[in-house]
Amino acid sequence: MNNQIIKRRVVVTGIGLVSPLGNTTEETWSGLIAGHSGVDYITRFDTSQHKVRFAAETKGFEPLKFVEKKELKKMDYFIYFAIAAAKEALADSGLKITQENAEGVGVFIGSGIGGFSVFEREHSKMLEGGPGRISPFFIPASIINLASGYVSIYSGAKGPNSATATACSSGAHALGDSFKIIQRGDATAMICGGTEGAITPMSIGGFAAMHALSTRNEDPPSASRPFDKGRDGFVIGEGAGILVLEEHEHAMTRGARIYAEVVGYGMTSDAFHITMPDLDGPRRVMLKTMKDAGIDPNEVDYINVHGTSTPVGDVNETNAIKSAFGNHAYELAASSTKSMTGHLLGGAGGLEAGVTTLTVYHQMLPPTINYETPDPECDLDFVPNQPRAASIRYALSNSFGFGGTNAALLFKRYEK
């Protein structure tokens, strides 16, 4: 009896991005390669009493382009973003979901916080007028799995449907789990990634109370500066990154354009502290991901690093890369696109997986902007300030979350 497990090849055939740099994949990628910052003063609420008055908001995003007017009050922004990005990813992939194939297409979308703005709004209504004022749509507008639920409803996908809530690793875990679902044959395609819409008074105030955010109020566009010696915290961003992952033979049969192949996924826990990072978890997650792909560390050409712009986190990730890659750490490139998009929290892994896929597809490295003063403790090639053409066969995307949860994804330049 042959018990050998057949691992099906998995490829990326569609990308949908909503970010502080643009409401489409093309706009986002163009902004990244141009080195633009999506960070500016908050426009959504009065910040006069806040210690931090800026964030990376989406610009000109109109939910009515993606959702019927009667549905708006039933959703929070994290759901709007997921629907918009999923619709773009599906259209980009050319995958048509029909009655015949619907059970083979699944949805798996993560979010770290979910409907934060709905919680705040409905709580205020209750305090002002009692529980009778609470909207009947409060719960479905705020719970994390409704991003996946609505995308499934809108697309007609009837396969696996799930969600992750692993803080800043949520989107990466959703993608990695989807990769494994297809690899083992439980779906033909997955619409997957991460989304977040948490630029709210409580969110900004809460992260500021933890001293996690940059307080560079005098110059918001320069506030997110991963690996720069002057970094002082991260910048909250919002948006979504959704990919269509597809079984290779299925994609080939229908003549799909293939951006890259997904070849590795790893997940670990620090088992150390709720917010402070630890070297061992990130080191092991990178090694596990490469082992899953069956490659050596010296084969990796680029890492889209977690790189949040926090003093401790950036040093920890730098040291983890050195520990995992040895001398090769100084030969690979490692940039943080959070320098331009801010940190999308649970949406970061989805957005950055999309960016890493485009990096492999276009053979172009996005920069780490605002890199002015080198930090001696962060001494790798962080692609400072300018994009760079490069030969990239394997690219890694790192995502680390509060609670010590870590995820990494490995993408490979597509080869038939």
Residues 241 and 327 in one domain: no
Which tens digit of pLDDT belongs to each residue from 290-341?
999 999 999 999 999 999 999 999 999 999 999 999 999 999 999 999 999 9
Which tens digit of pLDDT belongs to each residue from 251-302?
999 999 999 999 999 999 999 998 888 889 999 999 999 999 999 999 999 9
Q: Is the residue at 3 inside a domain? A: no
Burial class (CB in 10 A: 0-12, 13-18, 19+), 221: middle
Cα distance between residue 100 and residue 264, in whole Å: 30
**Alpha helices per DSSP H over 263-347:** 280-293, 311-325, 338-341
- β pairing state of 40-41 and 54-55: antiparallel
Residues 309 and 379 in one domain: yes
Amino acid at 304: N
Domains: count for the chain: 2
Q: What is the mean pLDDT of residues 160-174?
A: 98
- Is residue 71 over pLDDT 70? yes
- Is residue 360 over pLDDT 60? yes
Mark which of 230, 253, 276 sits at the end of a domain: 253
Which tens digit of pLDDT belongs to each residue from 342-356?
999 999 999 999 999
State the Cα angle at 47 between 43 and 50, rounded to 5°: 145
Q: Is the residue at 5 inside a domain? A: no
Size of the chain, expressed as the number of residues it contains: 416
Q: Do the Cβ atoms of 55 and 216 come closer than 8 Å? A: no
Residues 283 and 142 in one domain: no
Q: Do the Cβ atoms of 85 and 370 come closer than 8 Å? A: no
pLDDT in the model for residue 324: 98
Residues 33 and 108 in one domain: yes
Residues 335 and 236 in one domain: no
Residues 230 and 300 in one domain: no
Task: Report which secondary-structure segment, H or E, holds 150.
Answer: helix 146-155
pLDDT band at 3 (very low <50, low <70, confident <90, very high): low
pLDDT band at 116 (very low <50, low <70, confident <90, very high): very high
Start-to-end Cα distance in the chain? 31
- Phi and psi at 316, nearest 5°, equal -60, -45
Cα distance between residue 29 and residue 365, in whole Å: 11
pLDDT in the model for residue 1: 44
Examine the residue annotation and report whether 36 is marked as an active-site residue of this protein.
Answer: no
Q: Is the residue at 131 inside a domain? A: yes
Q: What is the mean pLDDT of residues 39-68?
A: 97
Q: Is the residue at 4 inside a domain? A: no
Examine the residue annotation and report whether 273 is marked as an active-site residue of this protein.
Answer: no
Mark which of 253, 277, 298 sits at the end of a domain: 253
Catalytic position from the list 248, 250, 306, 378: 306
Cα distance between residue 333 and residue 248, in whole Å: 28
Residues 406 and 286 in one domain: yes
Q: What is the mean pLDDT of residues 403-410?
A: 96
* CATH number of the domain encompassing residue 201: 3.40.47.10
Ramachandran region of residue 261, left (φ > 0), alpha (ψ -120 to 50) or beta?
beta
Residue where the block lists tokens 């490069």: 390
Residues 304 and 219 in one domain: no
- Is residue 388 over pLDDT 80? yes
Examine the residue annotation and report whether 378 is marked as an active-site residue of this protein.
Answer: no
Domain span at residue 356 reads 262-412
Q: Is the residue at 149 inside a domain? A: yes
Cα distance between residue 232 and residue 210, in whole Å: 13
pLDDT in the model for residue 399: 98
Residues 228 and 91 in one domain: yes
Catalytic position from the list 168, 192, 248, 378: 168
Residues 209 and 327 in one domain: no
Which tens digit of pLDDT belongs to each residue from 7-20?
999 999 999 999 99
Residues 241 and 269 in one domain: no
Query: HSE on the CB side for 267, CA within 13 Å?
Result: 16
pLDDT band at 2 (very low <50, low <70, confident <90, very high): low
Residues 152 and 15 in one domain: yes
Q: Is the residue at 323 inside a domain? A: yes
